Amino acid sequence: MKADVGIVIGANDVVNPSARDDAGSPIAGMPILDVETARTVMVLKRSMNPGFAGVDNELYGRDNTMMIFGDAKETVTRIVSGLKNL
């Protein structure tokens, strides 16, 4: 995938690279979205709670990932407004 920015809204397990990279993970082999390949990944979440599988997401600690906490609709609205004002 070639993308400058990946925006993840409320997902957890479906973007967790350990499903692909860690054979011992409870979610090993689960299909995931490869968002970590984007230059910058923005993750919108309400908290750091783990997903359904209860597994920490290694994506959240990567250098190209930024966490944005709060209401996703409000956050996306602010992002779009900021882009329009460029």
Q: Which residues are catalytic?
A: 13
Concatenate the DSSP letters of all residues of 30-58 into one string: -----GGGSSEEEEEES-----TT----G
Starting at the earlier edge strand, list the strands of the sheet with 5-9.
5-9, 40-45, 65-69
